Amino acid sequence: MSTLEIKDLHVTVATEDGPKEILKGVTLTIGDGETHAIMGPNGSGKSTLAYSIAGHPKYTVTGGTVLLDGEDVLAMSVDERARAGLFLAMQYPVEVPGVSVSNFLRTAKTAVDGEAPKLRTWVKDVNGALERMNLDTTFSQRSVNEGFSGGEKKRHEIAQLELLDPKVAILDETDSGLDIDALKVVSDGVNRFREQEGKGVLLITHYTRILRYIQPDKVHVFVNGRVAEQGGPELAEQLEAEGYDKYVKASV
Ligand SMILES: Nc1ncnc2c1ncn2[C@@H]1O[C@H](COP(=O)(O)OP(=O)(O)OP(=O)(O)O)[C@@H](O)[C@H]1O
Ligand SMILES: [Mg+2]
């Protein structure tokens, strides 16, 4: 089972002028096995939501709750959140010079599972995951994200998703900067993940294109730190046609 329940979440960041509220009461529930898309203008707080759920120290939760299968996510350390089954693919994946993809993946897998993966099958699994993402197996010996192209970084995130096999995946603009073939490869990867029993996906995106490959159960319009509207896949098409204007005006 995997249900992610976000209730009235308030989050601030520290600025020179004191704390600034970015999330102003976010409520949304990803039911067991559901895929939800979040769309919204630049700066509305989508990445803040993703980071806050994952436990990034830059963000201070000042109110609300986040539950994964009833467990209090906000009380968990970052490691515990990953072990509980949360996965975040960042909008801007960070470079980790000196740490090979192979070592990174093995360390992450060991941390998430609580035991090291079996060496015999692991190398095969890693190579398989890279190949399915159209990444050459030589990538496993390169430093994490160092010198990777934008699209290679995103594809590496989905290889991680496959190998770590979380309960709920939060994908922050994983489709941005992908060429047409790579978008298909990434979508196929996400679809393989969600075809498994009970996997949840929170897909943050600016484009309806990916939603034609990855059909969401629900679409949320995110404006000014809140969910301004919810609907089905047709809402994404409506946004594409009309933009965010009416939601932005209503929010101020
Ligand atoms: N240290 C900070 N000081 C002031 N404002 C900040 C700080 N950190 C983040 N913010 C603001 O928080 C807001 C939300 O940022 P966030 O990255 O969550 O937006 P987003 O919805 O993901 O946008 P995009 O679509 O461009 O990725 C932005 O307006 C950003 O400038
Ligand atoms: Mg963002």
CATH superfamily of 4-251: P-loop containing nucleotide triphosphate hydrolases (3.40.50.300)
What are the residues facing 6 on neighbouring strands?
28, 66
Average pLDDT over residues 152-158: 97
From the CA of 38, the nearest ligand is: 1
Nearest-angstrom CA–CA distance, 30 and 118: 32
Average pLDDT over residues 210-230: 97
Nearest-angstrom CA–CA distance, 134 and 128: 10
pLDDT score recorded for residue 252: 82
pLDDT in tens, 87-97: 999 999 999 99
Nearest CA to ligand 1 atom 17: 47
pLDDT in tens, 25-44: 999 999 999 999 999 999 99
Does any ligand 1 atom lie closer than 6 A to the CB of residue 106?
no
- Domain spans of the chain? 4-251
Does any ligand 1 atom lie closer than 6 A to the CB of residue 15?
yes
- Which of 13, 88, 92, 171, when mutated, tests ligand 1's pocket best, judged by the most ligand atoms within 8 Å of its CB? 13
pLDDT score recorded for residue 1: 80
Does any ligand 1 atom lie closer than 6 A to the CB of residue 20?
yes
Residue with tokens 């700066």: 43
Does any ligand 1 atom lie closer than 6 A to the CB of residue 22?
yes
pLDDT in tens, 158-204: 999 999 999 999 999 999 999 999 999 999 999 999 999 999 999 99
Nearest-angstrom CA–CA distance, 4 and 156: 25
Q: Classify residue 31 by its DSSP letter.
A: -
Does any ligand 1 atom lie closer than 6 A to the CB of residue 140?
no
Q: Classify residue 145 by its DSSP letter.
A: T
User: For the purposes of burial, counting CB atoms within 10 Å of the CB of 125, is it exposed (0-12), middle (13-18) or buried (19 or more)?
Assistant: middle
Q: Where are the alpha helices (DSSP H) in the chain?
A: 46-54, 78-84, 101-113, 119-132, 150-164, 180-195, 209-213, 233-242, 245-251
Nearest-angstrom CA–CA distance, 66 and 86: 12
- Give the mean pLDDT of the chain: 96
